[in-house]
Amino acid sequence: MTELLSNYLGGTCVMGSGAGTPLFDPVLGNELVRVDATGLDLAAGFDFARSQGGQALRAMTYRERAAMLGAIVKVLQANRDAYYDIAMQNSGTVKNDSAVDIDGGIYTLGYYAKMGESLGDQKYLLDDEPATLGRDKEKGVAFVSQHILTPTHGVALLINAFNFPSWGLWEKAAPALLSGVPVIVKPGTSTAWLTQRMVRDVVEAGVLPAGALSVICGSSAGLMDQLKAFDVVSFTGSADTAKIIRSHPAVTERSVRVNIEADSVNSAWLLPDADASSDSFKSLVREVVNEMRVKSGQKCTAIRRIFVPEAIYNVASEAIFAKLAAIAVGNPRSESVKMGSLVSRAQFNTVLLGLAHLKTQAETLFDGSTLALVDVDPAVACVMAPTLLGARDPDGNSLVHNVEVFGPVATLIPYKDLAHAKALIARGEGSLVASVYSGNSEMASQAALDIAFAHGRVHVITPDVAQIHTGHGNVMPQTLHGGPGRAGGGEELGGKRGLAFYHRRSGLQVSQSIAQALKVST
């Protein structure tokens, strides 16, 4: 039998008592390791994280916790080669795609380490200026309200998806740990190996207090049951699972704070000022193809709907077709391959079903199944080339606006005018990100404002930033990640804003002199 990976809970390494769930190489099909959480004392583990990990973290200042994040960065950097190897084996990703996950996670940690240093040696944060409630003019004193943020005295349960086992961990854990809140992470089972290895390396390096960072691999059964009033839960995954989390007694009865990032039918929008010869058109084509290729489209921020003026629908189809046809898809061990595998057979089958569903209302503009795959056995490998669909009647096509196929699939959609495009984009009912392409800065700015209500992030690409923008699908720690409506209604990252979820806001009604002392100490 292959190795059974350990869990880290209650400040120690613990093994599940079951046979374990096997994790596979999605390209070669061989079993890699097993994960199991059977028999773990979850109640004791959560209590240890709250009492030991939480107390130790809260005793530190923001500056001290920032230094702790910096130490984590050094541990991860020292083990990068091992992480890349695990990602290739367990996620089927090419090196550049592994970098998005691994180096993206390390960069996010480094960003919060640097930001935390700037917060100084205090243990709380001020929220805005004090507001006067009463004043004695004769005595020259005032009674004021000063809002403050203090770390919640609970644990942060992070339930993550399979597609980003590194970044998904650290983009949540970095602001939580900097805030002084211990973390228990439950990674997506199919790719849990990388998350487990990173946590193992950090815990064994001794750079964190005992109980500050835990990992539970395998079944999530019973995890939500452990949550108490001052705990928080942050979830990334399907809308169906999000419903279960929101309806759990921990949330409905004990008011545990919850952050959800769920489904998202993200858009790319070419404004009508751009024709097929424009730089904006070229930028759109480049981003669409990139978002379909990177991690085989398994990104919550990937482009799913592509809006172009009716007049250039066919030209856009041809341009995207040409670039998709040139992508080498297959075994990530082959140097020529630029696009690897889906993460599992289950995910492969799910994408096929979703694609077939979309095809009932859309035409096929580029059929990825016709491409020859590099160095793989199609009967074994979960490798899928990109497919571009087209929806010539977007008003009568409900599926393209409602169904997210979590793989290398996108749909080209023509629009009549600006009002039509905005209405179609809004039919996504809330998305994580939309990108706007235009050579007219004023038009682009107005378009971004018009659709901002439906998106957590609007990425505007004009010719002057075409070579320096960070990419439609790349989530930067400086900018908010999340989205309204079907995207889950959550907010993560966004620089200092990312700390708010792990703090409690309180209004201190005090004398003006006390308020001034609070401000001076920060």
Q: Are residues 192 and 295 in the same domain?
A: no
Give the tokens for residue 127. Answer: 């929220």
Please tell me the predicted confidence (pLDDT) of residue 220. 87
Structure-token match 């609070």, residue found:
518
Residue 27 lies in a domain: yes
Q: Which domain holds residue 174?
A: 7-262+491-520
Please tell me the predicted confidence (pLDDT) of residue 520. 77
Residue 232 lies in a domain: yes
Residues 468, 470: Cα–Cα separation, whole Å: 6
pLDDT along the chain (522 residues), means of 10: 93 95 97 96 97 98 98 98 98 97 98 96 95 93 96 98 97 98 97 98 97 95 96 95 96 97 96 96 98 97 98 98 97 96 97 97 96 94 98 95 97 98 98 98 98 98 96 97 96 97 97 92 69
- Residue 404: how many CB atoms within 10 A of its CB? 22
Q: Is 129 a catalytic residue?
A: no
Residues 69, 401: Cα–Cα separation, whole Å: 40
Q: What's the Cα-to-Cα distance from 431 to each of 307, 365, 463, rounded to whole Å?
A: 15, 24, 25
Which 8-state DSSP code applies to residue 2? P
H/E run at residue 234:
strand 232-236
| Three-class SS of 333-344 | CCCCCCECCCCC
Residue 485 lies in a domain: no
Residue 396 lies in a domain: yes
Q: Are residues 246 and 294 in the same domain?
A: no
Please tell me the predicted confidence (pLDDT) of residue 263. 86
Beta bridge partner(s), residue 466: none
Q: Which of 171, 217, 261, 291 is catalytic?
A: 261
| Phi, then psi, of 125 in degrees rounded to 5 | -120, 140
Please tell me the predicted confidence (pLDDT) of residue 208. 98
Residue 486 lies in a domain: no
Q: Are residues 214 and 305 in the same domain?
A: no
Residues 21, 26: Cα–Cα separation, whole Å: 15
Q: Are residues 234 and 210 in the same domain?
A: yes
Question: CB under 8 Å to 517, separation ≥6 — which residues?
Answer: none
Overall number of domains in the chain: 2
Q: Are residues 142 and 222 in the same domain?
A: yes
**Number of alpha carbons in the 13 Å side-chain half-sphere of residue 12:** 10
Residues 422, 488: Cα–Cα separation, whole Å: 21
Please tell me the predicted confidence (pLDDT) of residue 34. 97
Q: Are residues 355 and 391 in the same domain?
A: yes
Q: Are residues 221 and 292 in the same domain?
A: no
SS3 of residue 64 by DSSP:
helix
Q: Which of 287, 300, 491, 492 is catalytic?
A: 300
Q: Are residues 73 and 204 in the same domain?
A: yes
Residue 87 and residue 102 in contact, taking contact as beta carbons nearer than 8 Å: yes
Q: Are residues 45 and 168 in the same domain?
A: yes
Question: CB under 8 Å to 63, separation ≥6 — which residues?
Answer: 116, 117, 119, 120, 121
Q: Are residues 140 and 205 in the same domain?
A: yes
Q: Are residues 378 and 426 in the same domain?
A: yes
* Strands 363-366 and 387-390, sheet pairing: antiparallel
Torsion sign (Cα): 74, 194, 177, 96: positive
H/E run at residue 21:
strand 21-24
Q: Is 300 a catalytic residue?
A: yes
Residue 317 and residue 412 in contact, taking contact as beta carbons nearer than 8 Å: yes
Residue type, 15: M
Nearest to 314 by CA among 387, 368, 365: 365
Residue 491 and residue 485 in contact, taking contact as beta carbons nearer than 8 Å: no
Residue 482 lies in a domain: no
Residues 62, 482: Cα–Cα separation, whole Å: 25
Residues 295, 384: Cα–Cα separation, whole Å: 11
CATH code assigned at 394: 3.40.309.10
Structure-token match 């990825």, residue found:
368
Please tell me the predicted confidence (pLDDT) of residue 276. 94
CATH code assigned at 109: 3.40.605.10
Q: Are residues 250 and 276 in the same domain?
A: no
Residues 364, 374: Cα–Cα separation, whole Å: 23
Residue 347 lies in a domain: yes
Residue 245 lies in a domain: yes
